[in-house]
Structure 1
Amino acid sequence: MNADYPHVGTGWRFPVTWDGAGGVPTVGGEQVVMQSIGLIVRTALGERVMRPDFGADADRHVFEPRSEQTCFRLAFEVRQALLRFEPRVIVDRVEALPAGTEENRIDVTIEFRIDSHRRPTSLVLPFYREER
């Protein structure tokens, strides 16, 4: 897989584990980019001491109502964070929609390309809203 995207590089596989030889398993290519997107989306602003502006802060929406405004804000903030913190991808579309009949879930669909001449790839991240 890394042969398709040599410019992307490799990184630690998340969640971080140790292999039998005392090393850390790694991933490369499209997989490392997808992990990076997940980390950006799930990181709260201020969570990283040395980079307090890093992340999309998406989890702060868990107590908000499942409305059009919440979906719009969530999609907008995810898109802005990806444009700012993941320069290896071209973001084609970010869409947040209520997930069918589940009242506590919003699915965020992210369509991106690693290169402008590659085929689009999608990643769907579910968010569950906590009941009060």
Structure 2
Amino acid sequence: MDTSKSFLGRGWGFPPEFNRATKAVNMLEDEADIKSSLEILLSTRLGERVMVPDYGCNLDELLFKPLTLTLKTYVIDLIKTAILYYEPRIDLNKIAIDPTDELEGVLLINLDYTVRATNSRKNMVYPFYKAEGNEL
């Protein structure tokens, strides 16, 4: 496969890694690049990117809010809006929040999407929680 002509996109992996043998940056392509872009989009705060201040979801500000239906609906709306504006390679089919670990403060956000160029369906689970810092 010719990696220079990837039609779904090609970009740096995050966090950036370098290959010592080739002295090049490790790159992601196609669906892996889309998944990585979604993870970065969902974990970025608004204003964190200086040149694109509206990029991100700002989910961090919701960490210690009461976990109500209103909050879940707001999270879904934030994610839909961010993907609509900043990930044009996919069509979002469904967002669902898994309530299994709700009492532990864990939201598992299930994204079901279709890659526009290939018309292939994919899904991704984004775990949203605050990790404890007791293993330092």
Q: TM-score, normalised by structure 1?
A: 0.86
Residues 19 and 25 in structure 2, CA contact (< 8 A), matched pair in contact too? yes
Alpha-carbon separation, structure 1, partners of 2:65 and 2:126: 17
Pairing 1:22–2:23 present: yes
Alpha-carbon separation, structure 1, partners of 2:46 and 2:29: 26
Q: Which residue of 2 aligns with 1:13?
A: 13
Structure 2 unaligned spans of 5+:
none
Q: TM-score, normalised by structure 2?
A: 0.84
Cα 1:130–1:27, aligned 2, differ >3 Å: closer, same or farther? closer
Residues 66 and 106 in structure 1, CA contact (< 8 A), matched pair in contact too? no
Point out 4+ residue stretches in structure 1 off by more than 6 angstroms.
Answer: none
Structure 1 unaligned spans of 5+:
none
Q: Percent identity?
A: 26
Q: Bigger relative contact order, structure 1 or 2, given CA contacts below 8 A and separation 6+?
A: 1
- 3-state SS in 1 of match to 2:124: strand
Greater Cα offset, 13-22 or 35-44 = 13-22
Q: Which residue of 2 aligns with 1:89?
A: 90
Instruction: Count residues with an aligned counterpart.
Output: 130
Residues 95 and 110 in structure 2, CA contact (< 8 A), matched pair in contact too? yes
Alpha-carbon separation, structure 1, partners of 2:28 and 2:79: 23
Residues 44 and 58 in structure 1, CA contact (< 8 A), matched pair in contact too? yes
Cα 1:2–1:46, aligned 2, differ >3 Å: closer, same or farther? farther
The CA RMSD over aligned residues, in Å, is 2.4
